[in-house]
Structures are given as C-alpha cells and as structure tokens.
Structure 1
Amino acid sequence: MAGSDLWNTVDDYFTAHLSPDDEALAAAVRDSDAAGLPQAAVTAPQGKLLQLLAQIQGARNILEIGTLGGYSTIWLARALPDDGRLVSLECSGRHAEVAVRNITRAGLAERVEVRVGPALESLPELAEEDPEPFDLVFIDADKGNNPHYLEWALKLTRPGGLVVVDNVVRDGRVADADSTAPDVRGTRAAIELIGAHPRLSGTAIQTVGGKGYDGFALARVLP
C-alpha cells in the first residue's frame, strides 16, 4: 500500500473508533464542499485533538483565526462550558455565511461569534474591546501572516494559555531556508518567534494522514 493510501486508511480507522462524525459535523463538511470552499479543514482526528486540548486547558474563551466552513469551530466550541465563548475571525464573507449555518445547525450559535474581515483588522478591534483573556488560540489562516497572528495571540491570551498553529510543515517545505514562498516564510517566522520569545515555550509535531504530510506547532504562554 502506498504511503498516502496507508495514511488515509489509518486515519479512517482512528476516526471510526475515536472521533466519528455525527450529523452536524458530516453536514458541515458536506455543505462546505457543496459551496465550493477549499478542502482545507482539519481532519476528524485533528478536530478531536483540538477539542481535547481545549478541555485539558479548561478553556472558557477561545479565539480562532480562520473559520473556513466552521468544522474546526464546531469541535472547539463543543469543548466550552455553556457560558463559554468562541470568537472566530474569517476574511471571506462567503465562507463565513457557510460557517454560521453549520455552527447554528450544530446548536452552537450562542457560544460562537464569527467576525468577517481581514484578521489583522479584526484583531486590533477585538483588543480595543478589552476582552477577557483567551485560554486557547487556534491559528489556521493565511500562512504568510502567521507571525503577526502569533504576536496578537500573545497580547490576547492569558498566562498559561495555549496557542496552536496549524499546517506548519508545508509538505516539508518549512525546512527550506531559501524559499521565497509567503506560506513558508511566514511559517518559518512563526516557528522562530516561538523559539526565541521569552514568553513562549513550544514545540512542533509532524503529522501524516488524510491531509497529507503536515503538522502543527504548540506554544504555551508564560507569565
């Protein structure tokens, strides 16, 4: 069995036993595909990982940068208590419309607010509101701006909070120091910021699965 076929088979096995889709999650994928959204959402095992991380954090306030069709949003919002709050930032109004429908169908509209517009404009506006510090930040948007999103996460997250940056391996291209591709340069800058910043302690994990060869970075915000 070829590598990618094997990865998919293993992902299917893990999904069936550990993170099976219910109707709300399946419908979110189905409707996102029907609307022509990019097939870039996390996999079910990755969504379950995000949910577990939020639960381990005891998260009451979550910030997501990059909503897409709301699939990861649903996983994260399900980790929140009834009075918890998730703010998700999405650049595309069309994507946000699909996401809001998916989130509402999942019964999570009261916990989730989707804000439309470039995140680098929404983040300062959010900061001006002086929100309660976030317990977890999930960054999964345009990769060229990863270091800027990470800097904003530091401003908005409590000490002890967790920042998760998705898609940091880029099929291995992250190791190419000579790359001029914006996604690689932005991801490398974020990784190097995590490694150098005195208020961050982090690591990065390579993954294979339904989304191919990629990975994520985890960073804890220090006092």
Structure 2
Amino acid sequence: MSQEAWTEVDHYLTEALLAPDPTLDAALADSQAAGLPAINVAPNQGKLLMLLAQMTGARRILEIGTLGGYSTIWLARALPADGRLVTLEYEPKHAEVARKNLARAGFADQVEVKVGAAIAALPSLEGPFDFIFIDADKSGYPDYFLWSLKLARPGTVIVADNVVRAGKVLQPGNDANALGVRRMNELIAAEPRVAATAVQTVGSKGWDGFCLIRVK
C-alpha cells in the first residue's frame, strides 16, 4: 500500500464517520495561512482523542504542544461545561493562531494557552489532570512523560503521539526525535505505576503511531 492509498482511506473514513465541521476547517485554513507547519493530527485522530477523553470522564486536560489549536479544539469538546484545559506552546506565533481558533470555537474561557518551553511551564502547573496529550518536540518526550506522571492521578490517561516516526524508532542513529521516543519507552517500561501499549498507524500523516498509557 502507498501513501496515496493510506490518504484516500483516511479521507473515506473521515467522510463516512465525521460530520462536516466548518469550525475545524477554519482552524486548519487559518493555520495554513499563518504559515504553520501542517503537522496537526488528522481529523479521525482528533476525534479519537476526543472520544478517549470522554471515556475517561476528563474534567481537566493537559496538552503539551498546541500548534494552531486543532487538536486542542477536539480535546476541549470532550470537556463538561465546567471543565478546563491547559495547553503549552513554545512558539508565540503558533499560540496566537491557536487562541484565535479556540475563541472562534467557543473555548476562550475554558482553555488556557501558555507560551514558552513546556519543560519550564510544567513545574508551575497544578495537578491532577485526568487526560494528558503529548505532541511536542520528541526529544523532550522523556521529560514530558515524567512530568505527566507527576501531574496525574490513578486513572489518568496519557497519550503520546508520533512514536513510530516512519520506523526510525527501530534504528534511531543520531535522530534526537527517535532517541527521545525510545528513552520514553524505556521509562514507561520501568515504571510500575503505569500500564501502556503502543499502536502503529498509517494514514494521511504517513506511517507513525501513538502510545497509550494509563496510570494505575
């Protein structure tokens, strides 16, 4: 199967199972117009995040890596009316686009976008969070996992995206991103307080995967 076929299947699944969504379409269009990289999750992946957060009954969500706020909107849709989401974004330009997208989606009062290095912001946060999505620089994944654990509670679900990296995780060489994913996996495997698995995916975003972690 080719990348073209994977993308066509993703488009079919999206059209078959997801309703048209002008709000999310506008978020993507504004991100593109602002020159943000097209590395947001796919629509079917975004809805998966929303469903997972809903299944956990999440009232407080942490996202590490905002980009233009596309995945943030999906996650915010899982929250009850009194729920809160904190999202961390390194680039001020990305954060500005995200805030506008979130405001248009109706989440300006429920979502806080913190700007700066995530590793600097994480110690200032108050847990626990019920659901945590890690989708930032992969070299930082080991630290993000450890901080997520500190900010979690029993039952918290942590999702780490992009853990296959087109197979580079097998032979990372000097690839800092793949090395970061492998180090995170080692930390997870040695941590008795969590249960975890990882799943490979193919689709419009290529060959990748995610790690699903539950705090015991």
Normalising TM by the smaller chain, what interval? over 0.9
1:20 positional shift: 3.5
The code of the aligned residue for 2:186 comes to E
Query: Which residue of structure 1 lines up, in the alignment, with residue 183 of structure 2?
Result: 189
Alignment of 1:200 onto 2:199: no
Query: Which residue of structure 1 lines up, in the alignment, with residue 161 of structure 2?
Result: 166
Counterparts of 1:106 and 1:90 in 2: how far apart (Å)? Answer: 18
Query: Which residue of structure 2 lines up, in the alignment, with residue 141 of structure 1?
Result: 136
Counterparts of 1:19 and 1:73 in 2: how far apart (Å)? Answer: 17
Identity score, percent: 57
1:19 positional shift: 2.3
Query: Which residue of structure 1 lines up, in the alignment, with residue 69 of structure 2?
Result: 70
SS of aligned partner of 1:214: strand
Counterparts of 2:18 and 2:75 in 1: how far apart (Å)? Answer: 13
The answer to whether the 8 A contact 1:21-1:44 is kept is no
Query: Which residue of structure 2 lines up, in the alignment, with residue 100 of structure 1?
Result: 99
The answer to whether the 8 A contact 1:65-1:141 is kept is yes
Moved beyond 4 Å, runs of 4+: none
Over residues 160-214 of structure 1, what are the superposed CA-to-partner deviations in whole Å (9 max), with x where a residue is unaligned? 110000000000000115x111101101011121111111110000000010000
1:21 positional shift: 4.3
Tell me how many residue pairs correspond in the alignment. 216
1:139 positional shift: 0.2
SS of aligned partner of 1:40: coil
Counterparts of 2:18 and 2:66 in 1: how far apart (Å)? Answer: 20
Counterparts of 1:21 and 1:209 in 2: how far apart (Å)? Answer: 19
Change (3 A) 1:81 1:168: same
Query: Which residue of structure 1 lines up, in the alignment, with residue 32 of structure 2?
Result: 33
Query: Which residue of structure 2 lines up, in the alignment, with residue 154 of structure 1?
Result: 149
Change (3 A) 1:15 1:186: same
The answer to whether the 8 A contact 1:64-1:139 is kept is yes
The answer to whether the 8 A contact 1:20-1:44 is kept is no
* TM-score, normalised via structure 1 length: 0.95
Contiguous gaps of at least 5 residues in structure 2? none
Query: Which residue of structure 1 lines up, in the alignment, with residue 171 of structure 2?
Result: 176
Query: Which residue of structure 1 lines up, in the alignment, with residue 90 of structure 2?
Result: 91
Over residues 145-171 of structure 1, what are the superposed CA-to-partner deviations in whole Å (9 max), with x where a residue is unaligned? 000000000000111110000000000
SS of aligned partner of 1:9: helix
Pairing 1:12-51 to 2, within 5 Å after superposition: 12-51=11-50
Counterparts of 1:122 and 1:79 in 2: how far apart (Å)? Answer: 24
1:132 positional shift: 4.2
Counterparts of 1:10 and 1:45 in 2: how far apart (Å)? Answer: 11
* TM-score, normalised via structure 2 length: 0.98
Question: C-alpha root-mean-square deviation of aligned residues, in Å?
Answer: 0.9
Counterparts of 1:220 and 1:147 in 2: how far apart (Å)? Answer: 16
